[in-house]
Amino acid sequence: MASSTDHRIDAFDVHNERSSPSTAIIILAAGASARMGSPKQLLRYGDQTMLRHAALVALASVCRPVFVVLGAYAEQLRSEIDDLPVHLVLNEQWAEGMGSSIRAGLTALTTDDRQQATEALVLMLCDQPYVTAGVIDRLVTAYHSNDKGIMASEYDGTLGVPALFGRESFAELAALSGAGGAKTVIAAHASDVVRVPFPGGATDVDTPDDYLRLQQRAPHEDGISNEEGDVS
């Protein structure tokens, strides 16, 4: 079952015995979905909600442990993933923006990782339905194949999430505030970024029209086209 924590306190230590390097993953799902008008985390994607789909994708990847940051609608959302082996993190400052959720997730990770066994972390959202375990694992593979510290998904002419950050970026991520998110750190370290093509990342669900378009499309099998090119 999901473990629950408040980002202000030490609430769990189930992974403290980890000794081999690992890549953690943090799902950011604390927003109020203002443009959607209702919790987009609860929208159906196939036979699951967007939130549960994202959690299952993360669990199918090589990343451990898995953290899910909730904020707005937390009580409604937790039942969607309470039976899964993820750590729930409550961000009571969710209204401050994405930066506060990244801080909350990192605080929980630091509490969990007392042996400092986590060498990197992946940040992902729950509103990019074409993210798969294969997409996430590709970031991890790129990290182990390069001497760079950031692996960023490339789509629609931009770099963004899901993105992997080496441990050296943790402090900078934890210092984010307001609406500042992963893109802020990616942009600040352009020379240390590996681009990992993921065309499906351009599809996200922010508005009712976005959701309607998603329902009208055939699902991507892995979010990676045959024309993606090499990791660079």
Contacts of the segment 209-216: beta carbons below 8 A, 24+ positions apart: 211/36, 211/40, 211/43, 214/45, 214/129
Domain presence at residue 175: yes
Domain presence at residue 229: no
pLDDT for res 179: 84
For the segment 152-158, the average pLDDT, to the nearest whole number, is 97
The length of the chain in residues reads 232
What CATH number is associated with residue 50? Answer: 3.90.550.10
Domain presence at residue 47: yes
Cα–Cα dist 74/78, whole Å:
6
For the chain, the average pLDDT equals 88
pLDDT for res 11: 29
* Pairing outcome for strands 158-166 and 150-155: antiparallel
For the segment 60-89, the average pLDDT, to the nearest whole number, is 97
Burial of 25 by CB count in 10 Å (0-12 exposed, 13-18 middle, 19+ buried)? buried
Structure tokens at 198: 């993921």
Model confidence, pTM: 0.88
Cα–Cα dist 54/168, whole Å:
26
Domain presence at residue 110: yes
Q: How far is CA 138 from the centre of its chain?
A: 14
Q: Which of 25, 23, 57 is nearest to 200 (CA)?
A: 57
pLDDT for res 228: 47
Residue 168, pLDDT > 50, answer yes
Neighbour tally for 219: CB within 10 Å: 11
For the segment 153-180, the average pLDDT, to the nearest whole number, is 95
Q: Is 124 helix (H, G, I), strand (E, B) or coil?
A: strand
Domain presence at residue 224: no
pLDDT for res 114: 80
For the segment 117-137, the average pLDDT, to the nearest whole number, is 97
Q: Please give the tally of structural domains in the chain.
A: 1
pLDDT in tens, 75-109: 999 999 999 999 999 999 999 999 999 999 999 99
Q: Taking a C-beta distance cutoff of 8 angstroms, is the pair 87, 64 a contact?
A: no
- Backbone dihedral angles phi then psi of residue 162, each to the nearest 5 degrees: -65, 145
For the segment 33-42, the average pLDDT, to the nearest whole number, is 96
Question: 86 lies in which domain range?
Answer: 3-213
Cα-based angle 15, 75, 173 (whole degrees, multiple of 5): 50
Could you tell me the pLDDT band of residue 230, with boundaries at 50, 70 and 90? low
Domain presence at residue 26: yes
pLDDT for res 16: 34
More confident residue, 191 or 10: 191
Secondary structure of 164-188 in HEC code, one letter for each residue: EEEHHHHHHHHCCCCCCCHHHHHHH
